[in-house]
Amino acid sequence: MKAFTIDRYGKNNGRISEVPAPEIGAHDVLVQVHATSVNVLDSKIRRGEFKLILPYSFPLILGNDLAGVVVGVGSAVRRFKPGDEVYARPPEQRIGTFAELIAVPEEALALKPRNISMEEAASLPLVALTAWQVLVETSRLKKGQKVFIQAGSGGVGSIAIQLAKHLGAFVATTTSTNNVEWVKALGADIVIDYKKQKFESVLQDYDVVLNSLGADELEKSLSILKPGGQLISISGPPTPQFAEEQRLSWVFGLIMRMLSSSIRSKARKKNVSYAFVFMRQSGAQLDEITAFIESGIIKPVIDQTFPFESTAKALSYVEQGRSKGKVVIKLV
């Protein structure tokens, strides 16, 4: 089968090549990939930023989102059958959606929402699960609370705004000048043009911050939170709790304790909490998200669609940081 692979870590490497079709375990579902999408995570993996905690072997097939059709199932699979239209984010140890076929554990899969296309479905799993695990699972965002979602025009931000509004929250976000009105249309109550204003000078007394940017924005976010507020980052630094969840060695736990010690200490002094969320696969949560999509509460946001032959161009486009919503790769 054809797949987009890398043979080593580094920027701008990768090519479409022929690789063996995946083997199916007893609990696996073999999916013909109709569409996939590009995430910032793909570029970080390609550069080797996770090589210490996710020791991939080469050649490595990139890709963390998929929508497609089931073409085979393992002997223990009960929820899916050939012909089912599905979507998923595979486990981080088993990525590889930039390919014609992928074997995905049954528990990571969900039936594709009936009211959207394969391309739209492929744009959702990673960003929707991230938004869900930050806002619903971790912060337990409630009606009437105030949430600041950074980078509202990005893949996670564009979905998180919609989800937060459905949960009844007051939503503030940031974006560039050209995207202000577009982000307002997603439902944000306050949209800050980061080229003209500093969010920390405009916002105050927020309950939750979803941080997806760098260390500077992370620290500035502390100043807008009320006592008891929650600073939740999807871009790091990781915490000792994350090391425990990933079952990493005590050495990595110590490293992550050191990496996050400063922000955790500053958060305690402000009487707020700090958490790092590294999105995990979940077919059950995707089932809940599917209900929101089919009822029109969450709508996919796609910037551009590239053919599979242009996967390298799609990655480069996302790395420029200018896409509104998601960038999709179409295989079928």
Distance CA(77)–CA(23), nearest Å, equals 15
Sheet bearing 2-6, strands edge to edge: 15-18, 2-6, 60-61
Say what the pLDDT of residue 209 is.
98
Say what the pLDDT of residue 246 is.
82
Helix (H) or strand (E) holding 262: helix 250-269
Q: What is the value of pTM for the model shown?
A: 0.97
Closest CA to 15 of 50, 56, 60: 60
Q: Which amino acid is at 173?
A: T
Name the token pair of 47: 């550069």
Q: What b/e readout covers 288-308, taking b as 16+ CB neighbours within 10 angstroms?
A: ebbebbeeeebbbbbbbbbeb
Handedness of CA 270, 271, 272, 273 (dihedral sign): positive
Sheet bearing 170-175, strands edge to edge: 190-193, 170-175, 146-149, 206-211, 225-233, 273-276
> Which regions in the chain score pLDDT beneath 70?
none
- The domains of the chain, with CATH numbers, are 2-123+301-330 (3.90.180.10), 126-276 (3.40.50.720)
Say what the pLDDT of residue 55 is.
86
Distance CA(277)–CA(237), nearest Å, equals 10
Distance CA(137)–CA(113), nearest Å, equals 22
What is 47-101 written as a DSSP string? HTTTTTTS---SSEE----EEEEEEEE-TT--S--TT-EEEE---GGG---SBSE
Say what the pLDDT of residue 218 is.
96
Residue 325: Cβ-neighbour burial (10 angstroms; 0-12, 13-18, 19+): buried
Distance CA(139)–CA(232), nearest Å, equals 8
What angle (nearest 5°) sits at the alpha carbon of residue 58, between those of residues 57 and 61? 100
Indicate the length of the chain as a whole number. Answer: 332
Q: Which amino acid is at 22?
A: P
Say what the pLDDT of residue 247 is.
83
